[in-house]
Amino acid sequence: MSDAAKKDTPEQAEFRAYCQDWLADNHPGRPTVKIPQGALELSDPDALKWLKQWQKSAYDAGLIGCDYPKEVGGGGKTNCQAIANAEMQKAKTPYLPNIIGMGMAAPTVFFHAQDEVKAELLPSLLSGEHIWCQGFSEPGAGSDLANQQTFAERDGDNWVINGHKVWTSLAHFADWMILLCRTDKSDKYNGLSYFVVPIKSALGKGVTVRPLIKLTGETGFNEVLFEDFIVEDRYRLDEVGKGWAVAMTTLAHERGAGPLVTPSSGGMSLEEGESVSTSNAMSLVDLAKKQKRSGKTAADDAVIRDEIMKLMIRREAMSQNGRRAGVPSLVDHPMRIALQGKLVATELNQDMAELAYQIEGMASTLYVNDESAPAGGQWPLAYMNSFGVTIAAGANEVQRNILGERVLGLPKSK
Amino acid sequence: MSTQPKNFGFGEDETMLRDSARKFFTDNCSADKLHGLVATDPDIHRSIDSVWDKDLWQQIVDLGWTAVCVPESAGGIGMPAVAAVALAEEAGRAAFPSPMLSTFNATFVLNNCQSEAASQALGEIASGKATTLAITDQAGSWDSLNTDVGVNSDGSLSGTAYFVQDAGKVEQLVVSAKSSAGIGLYLVDVQAAGVEMIADGIIDLTRDQAHVVFSNASATEMAAPGTGNEIIDKAMPAILSIVSADMVGAGEWLLQTTIEYAKTRVQFDRPLGFFQAVKHPLVNVMLDIDRSKSLAYNAACAYDTDPDNAMGFAHMAKSQAGEMAVFSSSRAVQFHGGIGFTWECYVHLFFKRQMHNQVLYGDAKYHRALLADKVMGAAA
């Protein structure tokens, strides 16, 4: 028995055993269609369909949304989502497609929506039946998120929305969007309001979704245009003018620093026999042992060895930071480790992918459309895609401002 | 599968001990007081001596800290290695000059000897006898098979141990010495006939170091010839965790002191910390400290509960802490600007302690090379 299991409450222990039993019988097996590296890269409807089936079966079994109350479609348990996540990771399951829904929309709806809206939206969100996207970024509001120009104007019991959102991952599949917009032009922060809006049902009726092409050549994210898009007032979260505070709930969960644990699964390798994953530095060791360099393998090169060890140490430190964050007496400031999460994980991911493609040498020039590419060309692709996450959700430069100001108490840089 | 407890074995007792240590150092060893004690003579050719506050050390002994990791069977308290790590972190935050870390390190070596003589020596440590390790050769090798001390046929020792830490503050030495049967471990009284202590002129003002010449010095066997190197290797994860924790504490002092300066020093009409060229590197120092702290507690906890994985985790901890030690001290001097480059600014005390710490028991690259051999196999 693992030590994590030894520390379980009775409810957690029973649930862990249940998860293990269920996963032993219900792992979906190898995908029948080609699945991209992450949910944000999804562009093939058949890949989405296959992953939605997996999310639905895990939800129906009670492994997703375990810590949400039963009235909103959850499992009504306490501190059990982390256990389901760990067991799914251990069982090497596929990832879940509705990641923006579960990671950002669900906690925000849960903490800020009216009760009947929670009951209406959360069950189909958690089951993955309805895919969600996030309407925060705009052409003029990236790192300076509060500079929102999309405008919602009140019209009786409705709002009329006009504006332009960009970098909207999954919008091409999304049924719903979390939307931050301006309701008062005279006050930057107190002039914002937050809505949940049904975009798929309004396509061609005030909502237009257009794909943006990433530097990799993949699609996956979009721009979304609103022209007199009408939304019912009951889909407003919290009060008019409180949008910035509601957005903080979203961002805290996006950075892994919110009170609710996001359902997640993963661990399944996408290429048969190839380990292309930045979740464990051993994938770099395996790669280095296969690649030739100066008449030996890359794993015999002292400099390559040192670089791999640096990343392995950072990877272990990230895990141990997570462990220490749960021991209050070993953390001097309550947000110090939590607010590092996004920054540390995305830079490590980028650096691991960079070292991996460099280990491949000249073969790293071969892309996913070349049959000779090592590991299917996935390492250089992972490197290029890694910039999506170092930029998204507040560029890492903004994360460093947040840490410097909120945790270290340095003066604000504006 | 790891068998470690989630909380690193850091429970209520360890928290209370750490909190009392933090208060003790805050009350008794401010940077101001420390500078007045150890930095009175900036002369680069000053005479070599070891300056420290023996009364404070006696108070530490009276508080029972030397007994913390001595087993109950030997008259100690028998707390886990994470307790010593927490004390080391607080000592590092104060750059405290004392034989505390050396005594902990000797304790962990003796804990692994499992001899009656070692048990007796541990009892003396518990009641306050300061002790250090003399296990390094002239090349400064941390390989436990290397020593320039030999065992004579009558059991006495001859040769020289180098880079002996806090040698001027201790009463006894745990010496690794070679005979035809291999490496053994021996306890030697620093006052014994045939022991000559030659102090090194070192950069770190908060420590002292010596090479110790043994000429037929009488010694008590702690571990039989052929077993000493394995005993040192077994203790090494605890030792590396302790040194890493000292660096974490010193790093945190450097970070917080530099933050205070960056909040108050005004240039171009703004406090320094307004500028991202200062703010972002300070955040990077924090990230480095947090990695180092988590890895140090993990390695100590592995020593206590997961010994098969302890050495790998200790390589990680010391390597990461070594990098952090360099970075935290370089940014502290740089961001203090002109004043940071002077003797009067207290930063140099911690800067020099970090320079010393980062090579002590092996630098970052050394530990990464050993880690690579462990997880990747030896290079062809």
For residue A147, tell me if it sits in a domain. Answer: yes
Q: Which residues 280-309 on chain B approach chain A with CB closer than 8 angstroms? A: 280, 282-284, 286-287, 290-295, 297-298
The total of other beta-carbon atoms located within 10 Å of residue A205's CB is 11
For residue A271, tell me if it sits in a domain. Answer: no
3-state SS record for chain B? CCCCCCCCCCCHHHHHHHHHHHHHHHHHCCHHHHHHHHCCCCCCCCCCCCCCCHHHHHHHHHHCHHHCCCCHHHCCCCCCHHHHHHHHHHHHHCCCCCCHHHHHHHHHHHHCCCCHHHHHHHHHHHCCCCEEEECECCCCCCCCCCCCEEECCCCCEEEEEEEEECHHHCCEEEEEEEECCEEEEEEEECCCCCEEEEECCCCCCCCCEEEEEEEEECCEEEECCCCHHHHHHHHHHHHHHHHHHHHHHHHHHHHHHHHHHHHHCEECCEEHHHCHHHHHHHHHHHHHHHHHHHHHHHHHHHHHHCHHHHHHHHHHHHHHHHHHHHHHHHHHHHHCHHHHCCCCCCHHHHHHHHHHHHHCCCCHHHHHHHHHHHHHCCCC
CB A43 within 8 A of CB A219: yes
For residue A84, tell me if it sits in a domain. Answer: yes
Tokens of A123: 């069950």
Q: What span, in angstroms and rounded, lies between the C-alpha atoms of B287 and A400?
A: 10
Same domain, A115 and A145: no
Q: Is the pLDDT of residue A286 over 50?
A: yes
Same domain, A326 and A306: yes
| Per-residue pLDDT reduced to its tens digit, A203-216 | 999 999 999 999 99
Give the distance from residue A285's alpha carbon to the nearest chain B alpha carbon, in angstroms. 7
Q: Which residues of A touch B4 (CB under 8 A)?
A: 3
CB A176 within 8 A of CB A219: no
Q: Which of A89-93, A285-289, A339-343, B328-332 has the highest mean pLDDT?
A: B328-332
Give the distance from residue B101's alpha carbon to the nearest chain A alpha carbon, in angstroms. 20
Residue A259 backbone phi and psi in degrees, to 5 = -70, -25
Q: Which residues of A touch B380 (CB under 8 A)?
A: 296-297, 300
| Predicted local confidence at residue A1, as pLDDT | 45
For residue B356, tell me if it sits in a domain. Answer: yes
Pick from B13, B254, B376 the residue to mutate for testing the A interface (most A CBs within 10 Å).
B376
| Predicted local confidence at residue B2, as pLDDT | 55
Instruction: Tell me the average pLDDT across B270-290.
Output: 98
| Residue B319 at interface with chain A, using a CB cutoff of 8 Å | yes
CATH of the domain at A358: 1.20.140.10
For residue B130, tell me if it sits in a domain. Answer: no
Instruction: Tell me the average pLDDT across A404-409.
Output: 97
The total of other beta-carbon atoms located within 10 Å of residue A90's CB is 13
Tokens of A173: 């599949």
| Residue B265 at interface with chain A, using a CB cutoff of 8 Å | no
Handedness of CA A296, A299, A300, A302 (dihedral sign): positive
Give the distance from residue A25's alpha carbon to the nearest chain B alpha carbon, in angstroms. 23
Give the distance from residue A19's alpha carbon to the nearest chain B alpha carbon, in angstroms. 18
For residue A413, tell me if it sits in a domain. Answer: no
CATH of the domain at A51: 1.10.540.10
Number of domains in chain A: 3
Computed over every residue of chain A, the mean pLDDT equals 93
∠ CA A237-A243-A245 to the nearest 5 degrees? Answer: 100
Contact across the interface for B282 and A299, Cβ inside 8 Å: no
For residue B79, tell me if it sits in a domain. Answer: no
Strand partners, B209: B165
Q: Which residues of A touch B377 (CB under 8 A)?
A: 299
> By residue range, what is the domain housing residue B301?
229-376
Residue positions counted in chain B = 380
Tokens of B49: 């001596």
| Predicted local confidence at residue A144, as pLDDT | 86
Instruction: Tell me the average pLDDT across B225-248.
Output: 98
Q: Is the pLDDT of residue B313 over 70?
A: yes
Q: Which residues of A touch B249 (CB under 8 A)?
A: none
Q: What span, in angstroms and rounded, lies between the C-alpha atoms of B96 and A298?
A: 44
Tokens of A230: 């009408």
- The DSSP H or E segment spanning A179 is strand A176-182
Contact across the interface for B282 and A404, Cβ inside 8 Å: yes
For residue A267, tell me if it sits in a domain. Answer: no
Q: What span, in angstroms and rounded, lies between the C-alpha atoms of B95 and B206?
A: 6
Instruction: Tell me the average pLDDT across B93-101.
Output: 98
| Per-residue pLDDT reduced to its tens digit, B120-162 | 999 999 999 999 999 999 999 999 999 999 999 999 999 999 9
Q: What span, in angstroms and rounded, lies between the C-alpha atoms of A20 and A7?
A: 17
For residue A344, tell me if it sits in a domain. Answer: yes
Q: Among A237, A133, A129, A142, which residue's Cα sits nearest to residue A192? A: A237
Range of lowest pLDDT (A128-137, A269-278, B182-191): A269-278
Q: Which residues 350-379 on chain B approach chain A with CB closer than 8 angstroms? A: 365, 368-369, 371-372, 375-377, 379
Pick B379's closest partner by Cβ from A305, A323, A344: A305
Same domain, A7 and A120: yes
Same domain, A249 and A160: yes
Q: Is the pLDDT of residue A2 over 90?
A: no
How far does CA A407 lie from the centroid of its chain? 24
Give Dmax (Cα) for chain B: 74
Q: Among B185, B83, B190, B71, which residue's Cα sits nearest to residue B129? A: B190
Q: What span, in angstroms and rounded, lies between the C-alpha atoms of B37 and A179?
A: 61
CATH of the domain at B334: 1.20.140.10
Pick A411's closest partner by Cβ from B10, B271, B368: B271
Instruction: Tell me the average pLDDT across A399-414.
Output: 94
| Predicted local confidence at residue A143, as pLDDT | 81
Same domain, A83 and A18: yes
Q: Which residues of B touch A409 (CB under 8 A)?
A: 259, 263
Task: Read off the pTM.
Answer: 0.90
> By residue range, what is the domain housing residue A396?
282-407
| Residue B45 at interface with chain A, using a CB cutoff of 8 Å | no
> Looking up tokens 């029948």, which residue turns up?
A32
Range of lowest pLDDT (A138-142, B81-85, B351-355): A138-142
Q: Which residues 342-371 on chain A approach chain B with CB closer than 8 angstroms? A: 343-344
Tokens of A362: 């000249």
Q: What span, in angstroms and rounded, lies between the C-alpha atoms of A279 and A310?
A: 15
Q: What span, in angstroms and rounded, lies between the C-alpha atoms of B380 and B367?
A: 19
Handedness of CA B362, B365, B371, B373 (dihedral sign): negative
For residue A261, tell me if it sits in a domain. Answer: no
Q: Among A138, A33, A106, which residue's Cα sits nearest to residue A262? A: A106
Tell me the C-alpha to C-alpha distance, in Å, between residue A113 and each of A41, A71, B246.
29, 14, 49
| Predicted local confidence at residue A280, as pLDDT | 82
Q: What span, in angstroms and rounded, lies between the C-alpha atoms of B55 and B51?
A: 12
> Looking up tokens 């098979």, which residue turns up?
B145
Give the distance from residue B172's alpha carbon to the nearest chain A alpha carbon, in angstroms. 34
Q: What span, in angstroms and rounded, lies between the C-alpha atoms of B37 and B26?
A: 16
| Per-residue pLDDT reduced to its tens digit, A317-364 | 999 999 999 999 999 899 999 999 999 999 999 999 999 999 999 999
Instruction: Please report, in angstroms and rounded to a whole number, the separation of the first and last CA atoms in chain A.
Output: 52
| Predicted local confidence at residue A414, as pLDDT | 73
| Predicted local confidence at residue B1, as pLDDT | 43
Q: What span, in angstroms and rounded, lies between the C-alpha atoms of B80 and B252?
A: 23
Q: Among A406, A410, A31, A43, which residue's Cα sits nearest to residue A216? A: A43
Q: Among A229, A98, A224, A105, which residue's Cα sits nearest to residue A155? A: A229
Give the distance from residue A46's alpha carbon to the nearest chain B alpha carbon, in angstroms. 37
In the DSSP assignment, the letter for residue A384 is: H
Contact across the interface for B319 and A313, Cβ inside 8 Å: yes
Q: Among A36, A58, A60, which residue's Cα sits nearest to residue A47? A: A36
Pick from A339, A340, A397, A410 the residue to mutate for testing the B interface (most B CBs within 10 Å).
A410
| Predicted local confidence at residue A270, as pLDDT | 62
In chain A, what percentage of residues exceed pLDDT 70? 97
CATH of the domain at A204: 2.40.110.10
For residue B342, tell me if it sits in a domain. Answer: yes
In chain A, what percentage of residues exceed pLDDT 90? 84
DSSP string, A277-297: -SS-THHHHHHHHHSEETTEE
| Predicted local confidence at residue B35, as pLDDT | 97
Q: Among A166, A5, A157, which residue's Cα sits nearest to residue A82? A: A5
Pick A337's closest partner by Cβ from B278, B280, B290: B290
Tell me the C-alpha to C-alpha distance, in Å, between residue A167 and each of A114, A139, A172, A317.
29, 9, 11, 31
Q: Which residues 260-299 on chain A approach chain B with CB closer than 8 angstroms? A: 282, 285, 288-289, 296-297, 299
* Bridging pattern class, strands A221-232 and A207-212: antiparallel
Computed over every residue of chain B, the mean pLDDT equals 97
Q: What span, in angstroms and rounded, lies between the C-alpha atoms of A298 and A304?
A: 7
Q: Which residues of A touch B5 (CB under 8 A)?
A: 3, 7
> Cα-Cα-Cα-Cα dihedral of B201, B205, B211, B214, to 10°?
120
Q: What span, in angstroms and rounded, lies between the C-alpha atoms of B310 and A126?
A: 41
For residue B15, tell me if it sits in a domain. Answer: no
Contact across the interface for A400 and B280, Cβ inside 8 Å: yes
Contact across the interface for B372 and A309, Cβ inside 8 Å: yes
Q: What span, in angstroms and rounded, lies between the C-alpha atoms of B177 and B187?
A: 11
For residue B37, tell me if it sits in a domain. Answer: no
Pick A404's closest partner by Cβ from B280, B369, B376: B280
Give the distance from residue B65's alpha carbon to the nearest chain A alpha carbon, in angstroms. 20
Q: Which residues of A touch B379 (CB under 8 A)?
A: 296, 299-302, 305
| Predicted local confidence at residue A220, as pLDDT | 77
Give Dmax (Cα) for chain A: 75
Residues of A with catalytic roles: 254
Burial B131-166 (b: 16+ CB within 10 A, else e): bbbbbbbeeebbebebbbbebbeeebbbbbbbbbbb
For residue A414, tell me if it sits in a domain. Answer: no
| Predicted local confidence at residue A110, as pLDDT | 97
DSSP string, A214-240: -TTS---EEEEEEEEEEEEGGGEESST
Instruction: Tell me the average pLDDT across A49-61.
Output: 97
Q: What span, in angstroms and rounded, lies between the C-alpha atoms of B258 and B252?
A: 10
Q: Which residues of B touch A404 (CB under 8 A)?
A: 273, 279-280, 282-283
Tell me the C-alpha to C-alpha distance, in Å, between residue A179 and each of A182, A252, B315, B320, B360.
10, 16, 48, 42, 55
Pick B291's closest partner by Cβ from A309, A317, A408: A317
Tokens of A72: 């909103």
Tokens of A60: 């129906």
Q: What share of chain A is helix, strand, coil (3-state, %, to 5)?
A: 45, 15, 40
Same domain, A92 and A139: no
Q: Residue B9: closest CA among chain A residues belongs to which residue?
A: A327
Same domain, A107 and A144: no
Q: Is the pLDDT of residue A277 over 80?
A: no
Same domain, A160 and A177: yes
Helix ranges (H only) for A92-221 are 99-100, 106-112, 115-126
Q: What span, in angstroms and rounded, lies between the C-alpha atoms of B178 and B185?
A: 9
Pick A344's closest partner by Cβ from B4, B280, B287: B287
Give the distance from residue B285's alpha carbon to the nearest chain A alpha carbon, in angstroms. 11
Number of domains in chain B: 1
Instruction: Tell me the average pLDDT across B192-200.
Output: 98
| Predicted local confidence at residue A190, as pLDDT | 96
Tokens of A106: 């669900």
In the DSSP assignment, the letter for residue A368 is: T
